[in-house]
Structure 1
Amino acid sequence: MRGAADDMDGFEGEASTASMVSGATSPYQPTTEPVMAGRGLRGLRCDLEYMRSLYGLLKCIQVVLALLSFICIETVMECSPCEGLYFFEFVSCSAFVVTGVLLLMFGLGLHTHVPHINWNLTDMLNTGVSAVFFFIASVILVSLNHKSGSEISAVFGFLATLAYAVNTYLALRKWKFGRSQNMRQTNDYMRARSESRDVDCRPEIQRLDA
């Protein structure tokens, strides 16, 4: 009986050791899910470098001016005709939403998780279109509703136009600089490749001459 008990103790020890080894080498660890969750939360960070840059400051100014334009246009109670007011309301609300989403994407670094979208080109198109539509809506609002107290909304609209126009100019310069740099690198690569081909072909030409 004592020998059987020793055998059972040895068996239990081996079983526990085997279970510990199998648990250590098993790919289904209980800590896998918290680690993945930590990686997902680690991507949400505030990009202070972008927020302090000129592009980040312009983006914040655009969001604030678009919001103030929308709030001011909502306080207008009388309009005759009202088409200009409705158009300005649509432009200010659309600019606030789209620019706010881009600010969150750039400010939190979320655009790095979607690399197949050209975010610089997207931002340039948004600022350019917003500048044009804000200018048109502000001019129409001033010309059609100059007696309804909508001048304050038009002032914010013109300020938003200026902010979007400056951002568009800077983005266009950045895009042209990046394009010219890429073309220069491509030309250097093609020149180096052609020179390497000439070097490889020279020994055979000399052999034929000999």
Structure 2
Amino acid sequence: MENGAVYEQTTEPRAVRAGLFCSPHLSRLRLALKALQLLFSFVAFTCEEIVESCTSCGGLYFFEFVSCSALLLSLLLLAVYCTTLYEKFGDDNIRKADLVTTAIVSCFFILASVVFAATNDKSSVETLAIVFGFLASLAFLGDLIYMFIERRKEKEANKKKENPNRQGPSEHQPLKNEEKV
């Protein structure tokens, strides 16, 4: 009770995260790619919504659907990675869903950007939407490539763990037809 300290500290201080959107489940590069996907999809969708008139609107509507879907799906995946939902669904399930979603969205975003580029009226807002559509496509494609590289590295590491004693032929032993007589 000295110096007014009646109560002792009973809990440990909470760990402070380095940044606002840090996720222990994503590397910095993956987090940056996810943020770029979100940003580019948002700008593409916003620019597409500003378009006032169109002569051939099919490409515009397809681009609108894909950019909005990409925005919502990337926001959902980022929210899952950065919250406790990640532990609820499990690492393997989230990775599979992320891989499939990213693959599908990247293909559709590239397709929608090409179709919109071919059918637009050449206004500056449409051109800007198309540019950000292609940038979003590249962000999704880059994330997809990075996920494939990570999976391949994990598979190689698992093979090495499963067979640690497996060794190839020794470099210093003679070959069968070079045996000493």
- Greater relative CO (CA pairs within 8 A, separation 6+): 2
Q: Could you say whether these structures have the same fold, taking a TM-score greater than 0.5 normalized by the shorter chain as the test?
A: yes
C-alpha displacement at 1:176, in angstroms?
Answer: 1.4
Structure 1 equivalent of residue 67 of structure 2: 92
Structure 2 equivalent of residue 154 of structure 1: 130
Structure 1 equivalent of residue 35 of structure 2: 60
More helix by share: 1
Output the CA distance in 1 between the equivalents of 2:158 and 2:86: 22
Structure 2 equivalent of residue 178 of structure 1: 154
Q: Pick the structure with greater CA Rg.
A: 1
Structure 1 residue identity aligned to 2:22: L
C-alpha displacement at 1:148, in angstroms?
Answer: 4.3
User: % of aligned pairs identical?
Assistant: 33
C-alpha displacement at 1:48, in angstroms?
Answer: 2.1
Mark the runs of 5 or more structure 1 residues left unpaired by the alignment: 1-41, 192-210
Please point out which of 129, 132, 146 is paired with 2:107.
132
Output the CA distance in 2 between the equivalents of 1:47 and 1:73: 27
**Greater Cα shift, 164-173 or 117-126:** 117-126
Mark the runs of 5 or more structure 2 residues left unpaired by the alignment: 1-13, 167-181
Please point out which of 47, 66, 88 is paired with 1:113.
88
C-alpha displacement at 1:173, in angstroms?
Answer: 0.5
Secondary structure of the 1:48 match is coil
**Greater Cα shift, 101-110 or 159-168:** 101-110
Structure 1 equivalent of residue 4 of structure 2: none
Tell me how large the CA RMSD over aligned residues is: 2.4
C-alpha displacement at 1:114, in angstroms?
Answer: 1.6
